[in-house]
Amino acid sequence: MTTEKKFIALDLGAETGRCVVATLKDHKIELNEVYRFNTHAIRYEKGFHWDILHIYEEVLTGLAKARAAFGSHFDGIGVDTWGVDYVLLDPEGRIIGYPYHYRDDRTDGVMEEAFNVVRKEKIYERTGIQFAQFNTVFQLLSEKKRKSSFLTSADKMLLLPDFMNYLLSGEMKAEFTIASTTGLADPLERDWAWDLIANFQLPDRLFSEMVEPGTIIGTLLPSIAKKTGLDPDVRVIATAGHDTASAIVSVPSDGKSNWAFLSSGTWSLMGVELRKPSLTPRAMEYNFTNEGGAAGTTRLLKNITGLWPLQECRRYWSGKSVEYSYSALTDMARKEGSANAWIDLNDPRFLKPDDMPEKIQAFLGKSGQSTKPGIGYIVNVILESLAFSYRIVKKELEDITERRADRIHVVGGGTQNGLLMQLTADAVGCTVIAGPIEGAVVGNVGVQALAIGAISSVDEWRHIVADSSQLQVYEPSDGRYFDENEEAFRAVLSEGSFEED
């Protein structure tokens, strides 16, 4: 591969967004971040929403900066985002209302009500998706429950990467990896689960034509080309629109080992790549999800609250006029030593923002664990709870697949936290390979490269990633702490949710 290819990857996370230019030449990929911005959210008395048009303006700014730095021609543009959230459009393509943030409380209790319409087992059999109150299906049902006029007025529902693709190209499509997060997609047919949509009495018209990741859906609208200075023939590619699906494409596996992946960021997603979904009772019992992957694959994984509590703690402490970098927080945790106290990261109280250190201390007290003051202690509670969670999920994963994972590939921002990576290796008892950091961006570009024929397969891309990345390897050094305390941690989980004061 001697001809240089240039791509733009727009990676929108729940905290920040990035516009990255990637160049591919001589079997190497080089990333150049041209713009970083906040993915703006608005919280007020009536709800928690995404300021989607502000985010769109930031996307256009990023594209203009890419043009200024690298010229007007690119081989593709791809957008990946977090899952489940959506925008409603009227028949003329106009936005209906501010899209809701998945952390909004309008879905409280809706999931249980949905099971009265369609049995929980039936939903899992049809979709294979982990049950979480923020899944798109429960968001849509909350709209119906509130008798909102939005659903009756809407002509289309577009998940966020599909919406951005529509704004850039004028084409409305539903890319499968992001659609699979809704709880309304069929993992076998890789299409909408039309029977479930009918059972829940949701309008068919909302759901656009499904396409596979790596589909070229159009070129830039003339108006967008004019605003950004890009060539109007730049292709808009439906990459793996779910950021985790893109991140897994970036896993630098050699294809010879039994590996599992861990996408570590605001959320942690741990699982394996399969050729077909696992819709077994055991997978449902463990609440694993079957989400779409690139090249016809399925990602069997569990969604775990990730570094979100740490991010919220840092925001809380910053609000108290104490600004800490993540590296400073990690240093304080190292000096503190083992916490010997843990939280259930998936307890509902930790889903919502605000006062996170106080919520953690309250949970420890309610669950009968010792508490201590100090920032390093709180950070250790979070990191150890994550490592214990990874340990348990790995065991569940091996039980479902009947296959032992002998290494964990970690991608995403969490790879920069060396303490968390070492705790993870000690907890799971196998080699942990950390990198690339910008996993979603790298995988986004890989699917674009596959779409235009610049590479022949995902395996080829993974070799390119391995040749282009600086990877960190963590070996287990001492797992006794996790061996001795696993039952105590499981006891914390089995207590269930503790009532907040």
Catalytic residues: 243
State the Cα–Cα distance between residues 461 and 250, nearest whole angstrom: 8
Neighbours of 338 (CB within 10 A): 11
Cα–Cα–Cα angle for 51, 57, 60, nearest 5°? 145
Distance CA 387, CA 264 (A): 11
**Separation CA 32–CA 9 (nearest Å):** 10
Tell me which residue of 139, 132, 176 sits closest to 154, measured CA to CA: 139
Q: How many CA atoms lie within 13 A of 221 on its CB side?
A: 12
Six token digits for residue 406: 């002998």
Residues near 119 by Cβ (< 8 Å), separated by ≥ 6?
none
d(CA 45, CA 345): 26
The length of the chain is: 501
Q: d(Cα 82, Cα 53) in Å, to the nearest integer?
A: 17
Burial group, residue 244, by CB count within 10 angstroms (0-12, 13-18, 19+): buried
Return d(Cα 46, Cα 351) in angstroms, integer.
Answer: 18
Beta carbons of 243 and 266 less than 8 angstroms apart: no
In one-letter notation, the amino acid at residue 11 is D
390 close to 432: Cβ distance less than 8 angstroms: no
DSSP 400-465: HHT----EEEEESGGGG-HHHHHHHHHHHTSEEEE--TTHHHHHHHHHHHHHTTSSS-HHHHHHHH
Instruction: Name the residue among 170, 184, 95 with its Cα closest to residue 139.
Output: 184
Cβ count near 60 (within 10 Å): 15
